A and B are shown apart, each in its own frame.
Chain A
């Protein structure tokens, strides 16, 4: 740390305080990336990491060594994102990998998901926590079957922002016509989607055009670069702050002299805002009480908002336990023993109609039975098939589920936390499906 010795302690403290203040003003954007094999996804991520200086010298050295070993002329940025042995051997991505970088504006978490058909479940997984999806299209191939599949999944999981990057523009001579045609084709298919915010950028991840630096090769494009969009897209309204929902996760009972009668309800707000003094109902009991305190460790708060993890106390001595949900008396979720949901099936073993599964929803678990398959979706055409009831791995379907206890939920479209479930196989304990309640 040579530069280190040149600064006085005071100067360093000042710089670090500035850094911390800046850091405390950054928000978090989670995004997922999807493209077909060879669309250049790894190169694009490598480029983002490289150009934002998220790659350290020793990592770069390793990538350089690996590139030379493979007989490549320049550093292969795609190798930055290589993970498991098999992935390196086969040159593909097998599992969701998470990457991190930041700029002075935002911190980013990338869920890097594989593009192969058989790994749809990984894309669903990556998309479940994402604010935004980048869909890659190879400029030479245009919109393909997988483009629709990936876009549909983003839409199904209620991702509000899609950036379509038309990649490998260098291989089509940076031709505006090619880009415009792809944009038009995509706009046609996107009418079937529920994504309010779709943007397009012509890029070359390999050459660096419009990823972080503005391209000199495409003067006809006057839009922002990919990084600029990632830094500036407004995600404030993505979170549901209207419907307060507090699934109780854990009951804190210190049972010592100092905190003799204390009972705190710990959890993470799924959505909305709660204030001290709010009149609330406990579900499923239906009993009502008032919030007397909200705290984050020893810090008392006047109110809490999603996605904070806090602990609450209430005025009355009533039975509240894990799996209960605290909601305002004037804004209740829906309640039912029978719900319809769209699912993505994850398991080798096909869905068993009338089969029993464990359903996990917020902090509660209950037995559930799949009573009916309404339709299966052809993910390449988005047509509903009401005849074929065989739901296999990577299939998407709409089903009816009956639960052993009433479910307190909001439609997934309105609330990504209280509208989501997973299904678990009782015998293998595997997560077999992701469900989004209608």
Chain B
């Protein structure tokens, strides 16, 4: 395997395979962001897509440092493992970290928390994010979102314009041709940039395997207190309200995608290595966002949230 991995030209002379082509495209977009904007930041969730994005950013500027900070929106309901991994990466690579707290947004009275069974802080994140963007004068926020994830995301540009209120106008997007990205904007507006637009979930996992990228332990099997709600396994935590018929039990689980605790559905799995995960992903018959509680609200919940400034 090692031989093939090291060969950039498996397809014959001067032919890039599709994974390396996606890598080249993402690096181009990341560099273009650093060049066209004064104050970019990389939206870091602790999930695999933002970890891959950071890995690509390190490649893009090697041997220099990544010339922008990581920005994390902490809902206050995060998995401890996510936060530990975030701090580990920041420490290891000497990159600057900015954290916005949803708790602050709620305390400041800018949002009211839904504390019902299905209440999450997911939508409030958008407000915290926009506050952080304004506070640090961030003019481009790089995110790991992919077009294959969700139907509203299938319409995203690489350089996606946001108006002064942080809103996305999907019906009136700038045409994006060749690789000529137009990042011009007026004061107060900003861009979201998605270098992984053309990657699929399997691309991301195979790239992680190929490049041996480190991941938080949450992605691998572990025993955890969980409960089942409407067919989805959720992690138990003190702030999670249980319905009368729901009971906490211990199971071997792992995350297929990482959000915060209330939004992340867990997979019953014994996969303990990246190759076992790749195998799972390659043979599964559900989408990864099918495991996300935040998308189950309505058919257009992603589009609605994105219009309002979501990731």
Binding site for B on A (CB under 8 A): 1, 3-5, 7, 9, 12-13, 15-17, 19-21, 23-28, 56-59, 62, 66, 82-86, 94-100, 102, 106-107, 109, 121-122, 124-125, 128-129, 236, 241, 249-250, 252-255, 258-259, 262, 264, 266-268, 273, 295-298, 301, 305, 307-309, 311, 322, 346, 358, 360-361, 363, 416-417, 420-422, 424, 429-431, 434
Contacts and interface: CB of A to CB of B under 8 A. Distances in A.
B177 A125 contact: yes
B155 A95 contact: yes
Contact of B147 (A26, A100, A273, A305): A100
Given A5-B270, A95-B171, A429-B186, A16 B154 contact: no
B63 A83 contact: no
Nearest to B34: A250
Given A98-B197, A305-B16, 6 more contacts: A4-B271, A23-B18, A95-B155, A122-B175, A124-B177, A268-B28
Contact of A96 (B155, B202, B203, B303): B155
A266 B60 contact: yes
B176 interface: yes
Nearest to B289: A58
Interface size classification for chain B: 35 or more
Interface in B12-63: 14-25, 27-28, 31-32, 34-35, 58-63
Contact of A23 (B19, B59, B65): B19
The 3 nearest A-B residue pairs measured at CB: A28-B18, A58-B290, A309-B27
- In this complex, the member of A16, A59, A129, A422 whose beta carbon has the largest number of chain B beta carbons within 10 angstroms is A16
Given A1-B283, A252-B63, A417-B178, A27 B18 contact: yes
Contacts of A273: 14
Contact of A25 (B11, B21, B32, B63): B11
B287 interface: yes
Contacts of B179: 129, 268, 417
B286 A57 contact: yes
Contact of A56 (B152, B176, B270, B290): B290
Contacts of B186: 429
A397 B210 CA distance: 47
A21 B271 CA distance: 21
9 contacts: A3-B283, A23-B19, A27-B11, A83-B152, A84-B170, A249-B28, A254-B65, A358-B184, A361-B180
A16 B278 contact: yes
B246 interface: no
B217 interface: no
Nearest to B59: A297
A19 B15 contact: no
B45 to A, nearest CB: 22
B175 A124 contact: yes
Nearest to B299: A62
B248 interface: no
B206 interface: yes
B180 A84 contact: no
B303 A16 contact: no
B16 to A, nearest CB: 7
Interface string B179-212: 1101011100000000001101011001001100
B275 interface: yes
B154 A98 contact: yes
Nearest to A58: B290
Nearest to A308: B24
A420 B178 CA distance: 8
Contact of B282 (A19, A21, A100): A19
B279 A298 contact: no
A24 B210 CA distance: 10
A363 B35 contact: yes
A122 B157 CA distance: 12
A268 B24 contact: yes
B82 interface: no
A176 to B, nearest CB: 37
B61 to A, nearest CB: 6
B276 A430 contact: no
A134 to B, nearest CB: 18
Given A27-B18, A424-B184, A83 B155 contact: yes
Contact of B279 (A15, A129, A434): A15
B64 interface: yes
Contacts of A107: 18, 203
A255 B18 CA distance: 34
Contact of B64 (A62, A99, A254, A416): A254
A100 B170 contact: no
Contact of A100 (B15, B184, B198, B278): B198
